[in-house]
Amino acid sequence: MDREQQILALIRRNPFVSQREIAGRIGLSRSAVAGHIASLTRKGIIRGRAYITADEGSVACIGGANLDSKATGNQPLRPAASNPVAVTQACGGVARNIAANLARLSCRVTLLTLVGDDQAGRWVLDETDKLGVDTGPSVALRGEKTGSYTALLEPDGELFVAFADMSIYDRFTPDLLQEKWPHIAASKLVVADANLPADSLHWLVERCRAEALPLFVDPISPEKAKKLPHSLLGVTAVFPNAAEACELAGTPLQAEPDCRALADAIRARGAGHVFITLGRKGVYYAGEAHEGLLLPAIPTEVVEVTGAGDAFLAGVVYGVLRGLSYPEACRRGLAAAHLALQTADSASDLLNEERLNQALIQSKGSDPH
């Protein structure tokens, strides 16, 4: 856990917070907090009292934050039978995982999500906050239950079936987004997932287009992809897998999809950049300056696939924020996914800037810079 990131999150929430209060919140001595603040000041990240932060561009992540339960089979799973499994619980949700990954990559990031006013919701926000994500814009709704995602995995980590209880996100209304717009507009880039209702996604796409605010969208699933507005003008980049791309393109699901045709159809709806994730085959990218590129995945000994797509999107955002071209940002995304696949965590603690660059060097055989 990065203490400096924790301290930064508290300072950004309240620039007048005292060192004693910070010490009490994160369990350090006041002198230790003073040392970290001095280090952050030397680095130019904070500037004097009251700790005004140097904002070089932040990301607002909007969407799901869930309690994830994962049951991994001890042997190949059989339907309509009792299967021995090992069960774990963790924080999850697409927007939350992306935010956590960005924080691990030293990006300034906020999370706007809905949780229930229950133990699960408090735990998810607290654990996310500890990573350095500003969860201040998020809302705990009385009388609602925090979203949950339950995945049944094969012994090799591949998904067998999953169950999602996400009814709380029906409360993610355009009025709520309007209320939270100052938090969103303060960011350099917005990431949204399709847990939002259709009218809220439409509102967000239109508002980001009107404000010229870059918007990245994760469709999550073929069914949830249907909630996106027909006009994707205002969507800077969209990140479907092959099944979701077929849905967005209005094409029947194909065993061997024609990625170029799918990307062309999605871009014809108005999306600026399309990243079709293809698992072990890599990612097909198409954008304004490129007809289409297939970027190969980094060979990986897979522990579990859950969370790899979230890490990929976070890696792309990381690259874009640093002014890289979209293909080069895509390579950062593939490196982030490579690291995520090596753990069972929804947001891998292996992910940081140093390991990301090491993975790039190993995959290309040269320094990525």
CATH code of the domain covering residue 42: 1.10.10.10
Q: Clarify whether residues 99 and 233 are in a common domain.
A: yes
Q: What is the pLDDT of residue 23?
A: 84
Q: What are phi and psi of 274, to 5 degrees?
A: -125, 125
Distance in angstroms (rounded) separating the CA atoms of residues 65 and 269: 29
Contacting residues for 352 by C-beta, under 8 A, at least 6 apart: 104, 105, 106
The per-residue pLDDT for 52 is 43
pLDDT confidence of residue 15: 65
User: 284 pairs with which residues across the strands?
Assistant: 276, 294
Are the C-beta atoms of 153 and 304 separated by less than 8 Å? yes
Check residue 369 and give its pLDDT: 44
The 10s digit of each residue's pLDDT in 282-292 is 999 999 877 78
Does residue 290 sit in helix, strand or coil?
strand
Q: Residues of the chain with pLDDT > 90: what percent? A: 63
Report pTM: 0.79
Q: Identify the domain containing residue 252 by its residue range.
A: 57-63+94-145+172-364
Q: How many domains does the chain have?
A: 2
CATH number for the domain spanning 349: value is 3.40.1190.20
Same domain, 282 and 359: yes
Residue 151 lies in a domain: no
Tell me the pLDDT of the chain averaged across its residues.
Answer: 88
87, containing H or E segment: strand 85-92
Please check whether residue 270 lies inside any domain of the structure.
Answer: yes
pLDDT over 50 (residue 187): yes
Q: How many CB atoms lie within 10 A of CB 12?
A: 19
* Domain annotation covers residue 301: yes
pLDDT digits (tens, 9 = 90+) for 46-84: 655 555 444 446 899 999 999 988 899 999 999 999 999
Over 80: is that where the pLDDT of 135 sits? yes
> Does pLDDT of 20 surpass 50?
yes
Question: Taking 80 as the threshold, does the pLDDT of residue 43 lie above it?
Answer: no
Q: Answer yes or no: is pLDDT of 270 > 70.
A: yes
CB within 8 Å of 38: residues ≥ 6 apart: none
Whether 243 and 299 share a structural domain: yes
Classify residue 35: in a domain, yes or no: yes
Separation of alpha carbons 205 and 202, rounded Å: 5
Is 279 a domain residue?
yes
**In the block, residue with structure tokens 């230790």:** 32
Task: Return d(Cα 299, Cα 315) in angstroms, integer.
Answer: 17
263 and 121 share one domain: yes
Burial classification of residue 230, based on how many CB atoms lie within 10 Å of its CB (0-12 exposed, 13-18 middle, 19 or more buried): exposed
Same domain, yes or no: 116 and 33: no
Residues 40 and 98 in one domain: no
Q: Take residue 103 and report the two structure tokens written for it.
A: 């924080």
- The confidence band for 167, taking pLDDT boundaries of 50, 70 and 90, is very high
Candidate ranges 26-35, 275-284, 300-309; pick with highest mean pLDDT: 275-284
Report whether pLDDT(278) > 80: yes
Handedness of CA 266, 268, 269, 270 (dihedral sign): positive
Secondary structure element (H or E) that encloses residue 68, with its range: strand 66-73
- Same structural domain for residues 136 and 4? no
Residue 230 sits in the same domain as residue 333: yes
Q: What crossing angle do the helices spanning 259-268 and 242-249 adopt, rounded to 10°?
A: 50
For residue range 106-125, what is the model confidence (pLDDT) as tens digits? 899 999 999 999 999 999 99
Task: Clarify whether residues 101 and 195 are in a common domain.
Answer: yes
Do 192 and 326 belong together in one domain? yes
Instruction: Return the pLDDT at 115.
Output: 96
Domain assignment of residue 239, yes or no: yes
Residue 11 has pLDDT above 70, yes or no: yes
How much of the chain exceeds pLDDT 70, in percent? 92
Q: Average the pLDDT over 304-319 and give the result.
A: 89
Is 69 among the domain residues?
A: no
Angle, vertex CA 102, rays to CA 30 and CA 355, nearest 5: 90
User: Position of tokens 């949780």?
Assistant: 115
Q: Is 369 contained in some domain?
A: no
**Do 1 and 127 fall within a single domain?**
no
Q: Are residues 47 and 195 part of one domain? A: no
